[in-house]
């Protein structure tokens, strides 16, 4: 069985759409209510990876999960912050996929020069809270009953983590293609994958 973490591409869109769909259609985890098509996911991957990492963990040619980063807020001073998300297929849970993906994602974000990561988690979601806390995120506030879905109002807890220690005059983050396939990129991927290989 061969496992790897790599940048997501168009060929992963169908698998990612399948992993994501139940959280749109049948749970409050995502605030999307219509599951995006594979074509729409492919469009999102292309758009995200113009600047930020979108990683998949593949085992035996099956996408086990994915994690990506994206813009936190538009205004310039937010430029060193990202929002992150992670989804793991039901069949691969509790085997270190989420930890592996986030570890690799953070290492890539460090190379690019990002400093803060934020994640909004619809409550309750004990697995996601535990994963984020295990990776160093801390809760910073809760939007109360901010979203209405499936007949109920839902809280969203916002979590934040330091990607790396603050720098006094941080340069603008580097584009993703400035770090892809560098020795540091390969090291980031290997560091993440080790969490999966150890646990599976
Ligand atoms: C949250 C999620 C990504 C976790 O992925 P995973 O691959 O199962 O997590 P890992 O095996 O890497 O677990 C890493 C750590 O997270 C915590 N954790 C993960 N799932 C947990 C659960 N069900 N209960 C308690 N803790 C959990 C543990 O601390 C775990 O470390 P341990 O296994 O050494 O105890 C996965 O459950 C998922 O995809 N859920 C549905 C989608 C979702 O909610 N995504 C997040 C949106 S905000």
Angle between helices 126-134 and 97-112 in degrees, nearest 10: 50
Q: Cα-Cα-Cα-Cα dihedral of 164, 49, 32, 192, to 10°? A: -50
Task: Tell me how many domains the chain contains.
Answer: 1
SS3 (DSSP) at 58: strand
Residue labelled with tokens 């998949």? 56
Centre of ligand 1 from the C-alpha of residue 98, in Å:
6
d(CA 75, CA 131): 29
Centre of ligand 1 from the C-alpha of residue 169, in Å:
35
pLDDT number for residue 60: 94
pLDDT number for residue 72: 98
Model pTM?
0.97
Within a domain: 86: yes
Within a domain: 38: yes
CATH number where 120 lies: 3.40.630.30
pLDDT number for residue 41: 98
Within a domain: 63: yes
Pocket of ligand 1 (CB under 6 A): 23, 29, 85-88, 93-99, 119, 121, 125-128, 130-131, 134
10-residue mean pLDDT series, the chain (200 residues): 92 98 97 98 98 97 97 98 98 97 98 98 98 98 98 98 97 96 95 89
How do beta strands 81-88 and 116-122 pair? parallel
**Which domain covers residue 21, as residue numbers?**
3-195
List Cα–Cα distances, 85 to 61, 102, 122, 171, in angstroms. Answer: 22, 9, 12, 25
Within a domain: 200: no
pLDDT number for residue 1: 60
């Amino acid at each position: 069985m061969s496992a790897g973490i790599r940048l997501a591409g168009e060929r992963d869109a169908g698998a990612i759409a399948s992993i994501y769909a139940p959280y749109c259609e049948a749970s409050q985890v995502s605030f999307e209510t219509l599951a995006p098509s594979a074509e729409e996911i492919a469009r999102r991957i292309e758009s995200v990876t113009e600047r930020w990492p979108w990683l998949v963990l593949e085992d035996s040619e099956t996408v086990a999960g994915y994690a990506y980063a994206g813009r936190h807020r538009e205004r310039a001073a937010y430029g060193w912050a990202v929002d992150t998300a992670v989804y793991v297929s039901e069949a691969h849970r509790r085997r270190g996929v989420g930890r592996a993906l986030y570890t690799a994602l953070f290492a890539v974000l460090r190379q690019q020069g990002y400093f803060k990561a934020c994640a909004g988690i619809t409550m309750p979601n004990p697995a996601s809270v535990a994963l984020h806390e295990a990776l160093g995120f801390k809760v910073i506030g809760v939007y109360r009953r901010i979203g209405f879905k499936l007949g109920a109002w839902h809280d969203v807890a916002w979590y934040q983590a330091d990607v790396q220690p603050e720098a006094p005059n941080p340069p603008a983050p580097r584009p993703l293609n400035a770090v892809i396939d560098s020795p540091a990129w390969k090291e980031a991927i290997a560091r993440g994958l080790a969490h999966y290989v150890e646990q599976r």
